[in-house]
Amino acid sequence: MSFWSNKRILVTGGAGFLGSFVVEKLQERECKNIFIPRSKDYDLVEMEAVKRLYRDAKPDIVIHLAARVGGIGANRANPGKFLYENLMMGVQMMEVGRQVGLEKFVAVGTVCAYPKFTTVPFKEEDLWNGYPEETNAPYGLAKKMLLVQAQAYRQQYGFNAIYLLPVNLYGPRDNFDLESSHVIPALIRKIIDAMGGKESAFQRLNEANKRNKPEKPDKPVIVWGTGKATREFLYVEDCAEAIILATEKYNKPNPVNLGAGFEISIRDLVKLIAKLTGFKGKIVWDTSKPDGQPRRMLDTSKAEKEFEFKASVSLEEGLKKTIDWYLSST
């Protein structure tokens, strides 16, 4: 608690999916001075807006979460935009932080920075052993440059910047827009829609209706790829806790993975979501679409060793919470 009590914290992306949970964790620790910039007020791609943000917030610590993100489809459609905007936001936020004598900068990268073919589990030392998976390489490389910048600034200026590598996140408040969402919210949305929408799915999940057959058969759900690719998923609240712990306790140049330490195939993930929602329809695999990276699972031992983080929410529990949130959202 004492670490946060008199510090001014700037959380870029603090109104977003992950950021909103990070802010809640800060509030739980009685942090009184949290500045959450909104994109309509501060376009972090523009240097003048970044300088103005630092003047307004006067932070001691920056937790940089703001990013242009999306699933495979969004990455394929916007490679230039994803590279430029993520690169400029991160580089300028760190540079101005250095100029004003910031106490600490927490850069949050992405698992997409890892090479396409990385030995599982991914170790932080593997980060430079190849080129990222092509569909999200521009995004992954833009975020990866923050690690280079953090290490260079530490070496030349003694600037305390750390770099964290979270795996795929999911949970309540995620983006369920099919044009830009990641795999878990996209699957939940597709399956709920195929069941007739939120109200129909909610009734089906109700205890009294569990044994009842749906009035109409569920529509088929089309899923990209073969289903063979594997992924690791970290519940968003666990990730927020990891970021807070790292901010408090970690002050070294080496990157640190944030994950849950397991992998599941997309095929098995679809089956699990179908089971949790009560979906009875057919799954159709569109193999003309890409799988993305073949396998993805992190070695999470460094986070546990360096700042005592270990994920606490199981995938099934996290999916239940995510589905419940989506069904109750307007």
Least confident span in 26-35, 149-158, 169-178, 206-215:
206-215
Q: Is 211's pLDDT higher than 70?
A: no
d(CA 171, CA 158): 37
**Residue tagged active-site, from 139, 163, 235, 326:** 139
> 216 falls in which pLDDT band (50, 70, 90)?
confident
Q: Is 40's pLDDT higher than 60?
A: yes
Q: Which of 47, 163, 53, 162 has the alpha carbon at shortest distance from 95?
A: 47
Segment 298-315 mean pLDDT: 98
Contacts for 23 with CB less than 8 Å, ≥ 6 apart:
11, 14, 34, 36
Segment 52-62 mean pLDDT: 98
CATH architecture of the domain with residue range 8-171+232-262+296-313: 3-Layer(aba) Sandwich (3.40)
- pLDDT value of residue 207: 58
Q: Is 85's pLDDT higher than 60?
A: yes
**Residue 79: cis peptide before it, omega within 30 degrees of 0:** no
Domain boundaries defined on the chain: 8-171+232-262+296-313
- pLDDT value of residue 210: 57
Give pairs for 314-320: CB < 8 Å, separation 24+: 315/233, 315/260, 315/262, 315/264, 315/272, 316/272, 316/276, 317/235, 318/170, 318/171, 318/233, 318/235, 319/170, 319/184, 319/272, 319/273, 319/276, 320/276
d(CA 326, CA 176): 8
Q: Where would I find the H helices in 100-207?
A: 137-157, 183-194, 198-205
Q: Is 209's pLDDT higher than 80?
A: no
Segment 54-67 mean pLDDT: 98
**pTM (two decimals):** 0.94
Least confident span in 34-43, 69-78, 99-108, 170-179:
69-78
Contacts for 238 with CB less than 8 Å, ≥ 6 apart:
260, 311, 312, 313
Q: Is 208's pLDDT higher than 70?
A: no
Active-site residue, 139 included:
yes
Interval 228-250: pLDDT, tens: 999 999 999 999 999 999 999 99
> 304 falls in which pLDDT band (50, 70, 90)?
very high
